[in-house]
Amino acid sequence: MGAAPVHIAGERLMLDPAGVLHWPARRLLCVADLHFEKGSAFAARGRLVPPYDTRETLARLVPVLRRYRPQRIVFLGDSFHDDGGVARLPAADRAVLLHALAGLEAVWVAGNHDPSAPAGLPGISVAEWTEGPLVFRHVPAGRVAGEIAGHLHPKATAPTRAGGVCRACFVTDGRRLLLPAFGAYTGGLDVADMAIAGLFPRGARAFLLGPDRLYSFPLAPRRAAMALGG
Amino acid sequence: MRTLPEPFAGWFAGRGWTPRPHQLALLEAARRGEHVLLLAPTGGGKTLAGFLPSLVDLARSPREGLHTLYVSPLKALAVDIARNLTAPVAEMGLPIRIETRTGDTPANRRARQRETPPQMLLTTPESLTLLLSLPDAPAFFGGLGAIIVDEAHALAGTKRGDQLALCLSRLAVLAPGARRVGLSATVAHPTPLRAWLSPTAQADDVRLVETKGGAAPVFDLQLPEGRLPWGGHMGLASAPEIYRRVADARLTIVFVNTRAQAELVFAALWRLNEAALPIGMHHGSLEIGLRRKVEAAMAEGRLRAVVATASLDLGIDWGDVDQVIQVGAPKGVSRLLQRVGRANHRMDEPSRAVLVPANRFEVVECVAATEAVAAGELDGEPPRPGGLDVLAQHVLAMACSAPFHPDALFAEVTGAGPYAALTRRDFDDVLRFVEDGGYALQAYDRFRKLFRDAEGLVHVRGTAVARQLRMNLGTIVETPLLKVRLRGGGVVGEVEEWFVSTLEPGDCFLFGGQVLKYERIEPAAVIVTRGGEGEPRVPVYAGARMPLTTHLAARVRSILSDPRRWRHLPEPVREWLRLQQVKSELPPRDGLLVETFPRGGKWFLVAYTFEGRLAHQTLGMLVTKRMERMGLAPLGYVGTDYVLCVWSAFEPQDVESLFAEDILGDEMEEWLAESSMLRRTFRSIATIAGLLEKNHPGAEKSGRQMTMNSDLIYDVLRRHQPDHILLRATRAEAAQGLTDVARIATLLARVKGRIRHRVLDRVSPLAVPALIEEGREWVAGGAEDALLAEAASLVEDATDGEDHFAETLADVTETLQVRGTSVARAKARDKRRSRYIRAAPKMVTG
């Protein structure tokens, strides 16, 4: 349904409008920046925001898993809002998560928010995950070709005749791919910000998420002097 | 009481004054221990009347401790009145200390005030709440004898008024003997205002003292020399006439409706100012020091004119104003009277005012307003019920002061006028919200802010909670503001953050009467330099414009519908209306005229609803949603104060059902989910209630991960707990506040069965102003994805479907700059500009 193919390092990957990456050849699904238990992290600091973020994020993830039936799921870091998050998972949400992960291999890539392995959840924890020509890491780093990363929560504002429409998006230049943040309480960083634009000195394409398709827009290249600023 | 006691009688006689009847009436009420509401026009010695009983009491029996508390909506007013009171107190040698306490009061003085309170303390609702949240509040306020609420009409019905009413209820518990004195301008609804002030929420417990306004004001209608403009709201076409009148008077206040208009009118006057008359400007975004300078210059008679917004509506007398000019339609009768009252503060002489309508509809509105003034009619809505978000903040503040029992606090709160009808269920839900968030999912037991002891008393948990409360106290939720700082110089004022986000380095804008060039942005400040080239833009501030009041709208309708009442209208307007009679028909007084006509490949629908801008914005959403369902493909709409104009791809049919009452049903629900207005309302409610961090101007931005987007919370909460107390509060507020749903409901009921649909082959004379109105809303929501798809496919066409990211991508996007990205971007920016930002002077004339 509405997924768009891109080729990174010679591999055909599908960008799903739900904000997840599917790699059909490897039956691999990748999702970034879930920030589970962000709500309770705020509550601990005195901001009692609604505690429904984890169940909302799961409610979006479960149908995707059902649809693709992957062998492996790569959580691209910041899966929990903080290292203590996994301990705060409400029992019902934990049960849903365990059920969803049953029968697949979970790979928990460490993020800056959740550097430690999520205790009590199935799967393996890694600093980064390499598979074929692709490397999955949380924070985009030096090696560019075939890098799949999260961390930056990209969003873009597309010009339409009725003014700008702002959405979370994938960003890729054919060498590197940034995933949008998937969590219910995750905001976004504009792709024009140097932290993102600096990663794509020769321009890129943004795929804005819609209910059942992606909307693709080119991003202008940055001048060499400004490149690699991020 | 007929006379004043000494030394007051002597002091009055010494300046040749005699006490006014209402001053004596307030003394008498105080002697009987009655609460009282004084309605008097400006310049009637109102403030002195409020303080006189306290002065007399303290002169007769001097004592230490806080005796009288004065609360004003304006810090500046509190400061000014303290100064004005200090003089007579010193001259009569009274043993009374008078001090102010506002957000600007230095910490050491605040600490000293808590140790040894002055007899008279002048403050604001926010500072009062803060005092009441302290554990020593009972001792501080225990001996209070009188509470004076100034500008009560400006507070009642607002969130600050809700907050103050709750504070008054607490004071009634701490100091049961304290009398309440409300000072107010003349209002349309004195009874609800008395109930608002009353300690029992009953109007009967507050005596009403009313002074009749002196001579009726005299109005002049000033039209521009040339042709009368069809559209626009700035009134710049009349600048030469305004300037001429300024030159003929001693001191003029030129009132305008928005800060943007102030900048433009000010610039226009200075362009004409060959005689270099000292003309100043005053609006709420200018740096406070600059505003004080302008006020001082007025008071000392060093200015000939001040261009001012509502920032000069209230309060202090600044010098001998002999002329008031209102540029743009007044929008409300009470507001017009308040402004006119700024001129000539002697009650026995008529105030003179000049009305300068900016376009044809505004001419009719000005005439309607002067007729209403002549008929002695006022407008304004009675105060609405108190907000639950304010209550949440208050509950936490009270818990910070001392443990309370919920039953006792409920009784206390419902003693406040705005909360008299509060249900126990809502109160309990608010209390639970403050305790642990009030969620159906019991997840935050560990993070509770309040806990209950064995006796059922509610305590606050930990000092961090109180600290957090004090950081976020208050009910004014500002859109994020940035200071405007001259490079290597001082701060000149503030603009909204989103406005800055539309600027690029080198762009220039009009601010504080000068053209500033945007250089760069620093944390919490915009760095600018003077000068710059190109057409400057003008910052516009959210929610800046007042909508037309219901009352005035009804008068406008009745004038338009009845040619016999056109005799006060100038000839170009009469001609315009006669043309309308021929080409279409006049809008009826009680029914609704709807015109449809084709133009430029689209179909237009213009409805002459006259319900004000806010109501029309909401109505536009609802009508376009219904049109979407009917397959009419609505493309966009614009709401002026007078009409709603919608354009669509197909010819509108069945107009009756577009304005049927049931659009408030299904379409309303759908709209609630997406409405950006509802989202704004929720953001403000969540902030006041303490769910979200308040924006602290100037404070360092916390990291990206630290902030929480209120839109995301709104979406999640709507899905998982739609009846949460904050969503209930949001819907309740939407029904009356920002979206004026109540007004729409009344309209739809009124016009039912009386809709006149005219199918025209071209635009009608009355429809022209709507078609050239700026600030159009596009149909968003469902259409958003269609628009994205369209834009994406346009770009696709431009790139020949290039969709692989080979090494050539950079070249592809490079060539795209002309046809794709950058052009589209620039266009998008222009769109944004046209929605919010007016290009500097550009008049559409007929």
Q: Where are the beta strands (DSSP E) in B405-502?
A: 450-452, 458-460, 481-486, 491-496
- Interface touch B778/A163, C-beta < 8 Å: yes
From chain B, the residues in CB contact with A186 under 8 A are 712
* pLDDT single digits (tens) A93-144: 999 999 999 999 999 999 999 999 999 999 999 999 999 999 999 999 876 7
Contact predicate B336/B218, CB 8 Å: no
Q: How confident is the model at residue B243 (pLDDT cuts 50, 70, 90)?
A: very high
Q: Is A64 on the interface with B (CB under 8 A)?
A: no
Lowest-confidence pick of A159-173, B88-102, B350-364, B582-596: A159-173
CB within 8 Å of A107: residues ≥ 6 apart: A72, A73, A74, A75, A123, A124, A126, A129, A136
Burial of B358 (0-12, 13-18, 19+ CB in 10 A): buried
Distance, CA of B449 to CA of A39 (rounded, Å): 16
- Length of chain B, please? 846
- Is pLDDT larger for residue B132 or for residue A222? B132
What's the confidence (pLDDT) of residue B737? 60
What's the confidence (pLDDT) of residue B835? 36
- Interface touch B704/A187, C-beta < 8 Å: yes
Distance, CA of B326 to CA of B370 (rounded, Å): 12
Contact predicate B187/B549, CB 8 Å: no
Token pair recorded at residue B125: 């609702």
**Does pLDDT of A65 surpass 70?**
yes
Distance, CA of B493 to CA of B697 (rounded, Å): 12
- Interface touch B832/A163, C-beta < 8 Å: yes
If you ran DSSP here, which 8-state letter would residue B420 be given?
Answer: T
| Angle between the N-to-C axes of helices B388-401 and B406-413, in degrees from 0 to 180, rounded to the nearest 10 | 130
What's the confidence (pLDDT) of residue B345? 58
Lowest-confidence pick of B43-52, B296-305, B374-383, B734-743: B734-743
Minimum-distance CB partner of A52 among B441, B820, B827: B441
Q: How confident is the model at residue B842 (pLDDT cuts 50, 70, 90)?
A: very low
- Interface touch B821/A217, C-beta < 8 Å: yes
Minimum-distance CB partner of B720 among A52, A160, A204: A52
What's the confidence (pLDDT) of residue B380? 74
What's the confidence (pLDDT) of residue B504? 73
- Is pLDDT larger for residue B421 or for residue B681? B421
Most confident of B344-353, B436-445, B574-583, B832-841: B574-583
CB within 8 Å of A23: residues ≥ 6 apart: A11, A13, A14, A29, A30, A134
Residue B758: which of B605, B577, B648, B628 has the closest Cα? B605
CA B787 to chain centre: 33
* pLDDT single digits (tens) B622-677: 898 889 888 888 888 888 889 999 988 889 999 999 999 888 877 776 766 666 66
Minimum-distance CB partner of B691 among A49, A202, A215: A49
User: To the nearest whole percent, how much of chain B has pLDDT over 70?
Assistant: 85
Distance, CA of B8 to CA of B15 (rounded, Å): 11
Alpha-carbon distances of B469 from A212, B462, B466, B637, rounded to whole Å: 43, 12, 5, 42
The angle subtended at Cα A188 by Cα A183 and Cα A189, nearest 5°, is: 145
Find the distance separating the first CA and the last CA of chain B, reported in whole Å. Answer: 63
Q: How confident is the model at residue A66 (pLDDT cuts 50, 70, 90)?
A: very high
- Interface touch A217/B791, C-beta < 8 Å: yes
* pLDDT single digits (tens) B752-786: 999 999 999 999 999 988 887 755 555 544 556 76
CA B158 to chain centre: 9
Q: How confident is the model at residue A228 (pLDDT cuts 50, 70, 90)?
A: very low
* pLDDT single digits (tens) B248-285: 999 999 999 888 889 999 999 999 999 999 999 988 78
Q: Which helix (H) or strand (E) holds B83?
A: helix B75-91
Q: What is the DSSP string of B336-376?
A: HHHHHTTS---TTS--EEEEE-SSHHHHHHHHHHHHHHHTT
Distance, CA of B153 to CA of B354 (rounded, Å): 25
Please enumerate, as own/partner, the contacts of B561-569 that have beta carbons within 8 Å and a separation of 24 or more: B561/B586, B561/B587, B561/B588, B561/B589, B562/B589, B568/B367, B568/B370, B568/B371, B569/B363, B569/B364, B569/B367
Main-chain dihedrals φ then ψ at residue B593, nearest 5 degrees: -95, 130
Average pLDDT over residues B19-41: 92
Contact predicate B497/B479, CB 8 Å: yes
Distance, CA of B235 to CA of B327 (rounded, Å): 6
- Is pLDDT larger for residue A229 or for residue B27? B27
CA B531 to chain centre: 32
Q: Is A187 on the interface with B (CB under 8 A)?
A: yes
Q: Where are the beta strands (DSSP E) in chain A?
A: 4-8, 11-15, 21-23, 28-31, 72-75, 105-109, 124-126, 129-131, 134-137, 147-149, 154-160, 163-172, 176-178, 189-190, 204-209, 214-219
- Interface touch A220/B439, C-beta < 8 Å: no
Distance, CA of B150 to CA of B590 (rounded, Å): 38
**Does pLDDT of B423 surpass 70?**
yes
Most confident of B197-206, B216-225, B491-500, B810-819: B197-206
* pLDDT single digits (tens) B802-813: 443 333 333 333
SS3 annotation, B708-762: CCHHHHHHHHHHHCCCCHHHHHHHHHHHHCCCCHHHHHHHHHHHCCCEEEEECCC
Contact predicate B203/B191, CB 8 Å: yes
| Angle between the N-to-C axes of helices B571-583 and B360-374, in degrees from 0 to 180, rounded to the nearest 10 | 110
From chain B, the residues in CB contact with A203 under 8 A are 809-810, 813-814
Residue B49: which of B79, B73, B17 has the closest Cα? B17
Token pair recorded at residue B209: 């003292």
**Does pLDDT of B820 surpass 50?**
no
Where are the alpha helices (H) located in B238-317, listed in sequence order? 239-248, 259-272, 288-299
Most confident of B183-197, B410-424, B534-548: B410-424
Distance, CA of B387 to CA of B159 (rounded, Å): 7
Residue B409: count other Cβ atoms within 10 Å of its Cβ: 20
What's the confidence (pLDDT) of residue A220? 76
Q: Is A60 on the interface with B (CB under 8 A)?
A: no
Q: Which CATH class is domain A4-227?
A: alpha beta
Average pLDDT over residues A53-67: 96
- Is pLDDT larger for residue B308 or for residue B524? B308
Token pair recorded at residue B496: 């909204």
Lowest-confidence pick of B303-307, B330-334, B419-423: B330-334
Distance, CA of B16 to CA of A175 (rounded, Å): 89
B204: Cα within 13 Å, side-chain hemisphere? 0
CB within 8 Å of B794: residues ≥ 6 apart: B824
CA B623 to chain centre: 26
What's the confidence (pLDDT) of residue B495? 83
Q: Classify B373 in phi/psi space as left (phi over 0), alpha (psi -120 to 50) or beta.
A: alpha
Q: What is the DSSP string of B687-710?
A: HHTTSSPPP-TTSPPPPTTT---H
Q: Domain spans of chain A?
A: 4-227
Lowest-confidence pick of A139-148, B34-43, B314-323, B595-604: B314-323
Count A/B contacts: CB-CB distance under 8 Å.
177
Lowest-confidence pick of A118-127, A152-161, B63-72, B337-346: B337-346
CA quadruple B421, B425, B428, B434: dihedral positive or negative?
negative
User: What is the pTM (predicted TM-score) of this model?
Assistant: 0.82
**Does pLDDT of A8 surpass 50?**
yes
- Interface touch B792/A217, C-beta < 8 Å: yes
Residue A61: which of A43, A77, A79 has the closest Cα? A79
- Interface touch B449/A48, C-beta < 8 Å: yes
Distance, CA of B607 to CA of B764 (rounded, Å): 12
- Interface touch A158/B792, C-beta < 8 Å: yes
Minimum-distance CB partner of B443 among A90, A158, A186: A90
Token pair recorded at residue B687: 């902030």
ipTM value:
0.89
Q: Which helix (H) or strand (E) holds B160?
A: helix B159-174
Tokens 């009726």 -> residue: B216
Contact predicate B821/A218, CB 8 Å: yes
**Does pLDDT of B383 surpass 90?**
no
